């Protein structure tokens, strides 16, 4: 009997202590982490959307943790402890079969885009392997008042009628639109306007010598293409053709080919809403990218856009971007 008590009882006691030290006590302590500045609890509909997110297992393919590594920079600034204060259940995830969603509302700021993408991801990202969530939408003859039908490209639209989101889809998109990182106050204060967020500030530092060299010798168009593919192609498409009725084309776009780059820079820095593009009005807003990218990065993106798909706009430099940024959004 003594042997049994020693082996079974002794090892269980040891394990119990270790479970306290490594699981329960850190759990208690970290549960009291205070929310970071600007981190807010979800609204009722956003919380409902998080339930949809959980019940359909979104976090098996999408993480919500940005690591302090250069490769994670495209997803936002590094996550801090305070970011997770209202995140129960925790949705950090363990795999990135798809991209991280910590800051998706900044990176894919258009609700319309989110609806199209949920209905069928391949309508906006041809190579995507994400499941279609068409079952969260309804096909009706005519959209009820106040509801915008999802502007699907022909190949993905039902043969008759229009597609409108169900309540589940609305809640889910409301949740996705809440996934926005609160800026870290100290980073903004110390970096100044030229390199606004902590993340891009850090990278601007590491790429500074390279950037300086390229400012003399011309733009880094390859880098611009990378940034474009990651951040812009979802709406404007890798072919620059946009999506009829939803997102304007950049190929042959008057602003992109204008010899005066001011407006082009302005739109990328500060976004655009409710203004006709080449005579067509679009419902979804163009997000502002000024907070996420340095002047140099924005110049690279713009130079890429101005030289791709047969465009031939005048090339610009980081200094041009800085000048427009300094004037502010009002101009």
Question: Which residues, numbered 95-124, are part of the site for other proteins (CB under 8 A)?
Answer: 95-99, 120-122
192: tokens are 């100044």
Determine, following the binding rule CB under 8 A, whether residue 315 of this chain makes contact with other proteins: no
Rounded-to-integer distance, Cα 123 and Cα 100, Å: 20
254 lines the binding site for other proteins (CB under 8 A):
no
Please give the size of the binding site for other proteins, defined by CB under 8 A: 77
Distance CA 140, CA 158 (A): 10
319 counts as binding other proteins under rule CB under 8 A: no
> Is 94 one of the binding residues for other proteins (CB under 8 A)?
yes
Give the contacts of 137 (CB within 8 A, at least 6 positions apart): 115, 118, 119, 150, 163, 164, 165, 166, 169
H helix or E strand, kind and range, residue 181: none
Torsion (CA) 234, 328, 211, 306 in degrees, nearest 10:
50
Which residues inside 13-72 make contact with other proteins, applying CB under 8 A?
Answer: 14-16, 18-19, 22-33, 54-61, 63, 65, 67-71
Closest CB to other proteins among 100 and 191?
100
Taking CB under 8 A as the binding criterion, the range among 88-96, 192-200, 280-288, 295-303 that sits at the site for other proteins is 88-96
| Closest approach of other proteins to the CB of residue 120, in Å | 8
Options 74-82, 250-258, 301-309, 323-331: segment touching other proteins (CB under 8 A): 74-82
Region binding other proteins by CB under 8 A among candidate stretches 126-134, 256-264, 290-298, 315-323:
126-134
Are 205 and 73 in contact, with CB atoms under 8 Å apart? no
Which CB atom, from 98 or from 283, has the smaller least distance to other proteins?
98
Site for other proteins in 225-244 (CB under 8 A): 226, 229-230, 233
Please give the structure tokens belonging to residue 125.
């990202």
Q: Which one of 45, 80, 272, 283 is in contact with other proteins (CB under 8 A)?
A: 80
Binding flag, residue 159, other proteins (CB under 8 A): no
Angstrom CA distances, 297 to 85, 112, 226, 250, 268, stand at 32, 26, 10, 18, 11
Q: How far is CA 292 from the centre of its chain?
A: 10
Provide, rounded to whole angstroms, the least separation between the CB of residue 315 and other proteins: 22
């Amino acid at each position: 009997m003594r042997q049994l008590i020693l082996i079974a009882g002794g090892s269980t006691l040891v394990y119990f202590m270790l479970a306290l030290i490594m699981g329960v006590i850190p759990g208690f302590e970290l549960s009291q982490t205070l929310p970071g500045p600007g981190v807010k609890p979800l609204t009722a509909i956003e919380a409902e959307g998080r339930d949809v997110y959980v019940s359909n297992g979104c976090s098996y393919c999408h993480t919500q943790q940005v690591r302090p590594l250069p490769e994670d920079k495209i997803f936002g600034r590094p996550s801090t402890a305070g970011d997770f204060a209202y995140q129960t259940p925790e949705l950090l995830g363990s795999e990135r079969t798809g991209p991280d969603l910590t800051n998706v509302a900044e990176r894919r700021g258009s609700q319309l885009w989110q609806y199209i993408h949920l209905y069928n991801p391949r309508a906006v990202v041809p190579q995507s392997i994400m499941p279609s969530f068409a079952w969260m939408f309804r096909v009706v003859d005519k959209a009820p008042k106040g509801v915008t039908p999802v502007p699907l490209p022909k190949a993905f639209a039902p043969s008759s009628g229009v597609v409108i989101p169900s309540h589940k889809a609305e809640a889910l998109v409301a949740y996705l639109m809440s996934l926005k990182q609160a800026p870290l106050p100290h980073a903004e204060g110390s970096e100044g306007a030229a390199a606004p967020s902590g993340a891009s500030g850090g990278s601007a530092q590491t790429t500074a010598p390279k950037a300086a060299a390229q400012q003399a010798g011309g733009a880094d168009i390859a880098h611009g293409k990378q940034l474009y593919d990651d951040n812009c192609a979802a709406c404007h498409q890798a072919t620059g053709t946009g999506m009829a009725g939803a997102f304007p084309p950049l190929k042959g776009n008057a602003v992109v080919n204008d010899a005066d780059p001011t407006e082009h820079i302005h739109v990328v820095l500060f976004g655009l809403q409710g203004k006709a593009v080449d005579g067509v009005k679009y419902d979804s807003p163009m997000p502002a990218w000024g907070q996420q990218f340095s002047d140099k990065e924005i110049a690279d993106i713009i130079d890429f856009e101005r030289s791709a798909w047969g465009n031939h706009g005048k090339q610009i430099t980081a200094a041009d971007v800085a000048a427009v940024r300094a004037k502010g959004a009002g101009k």
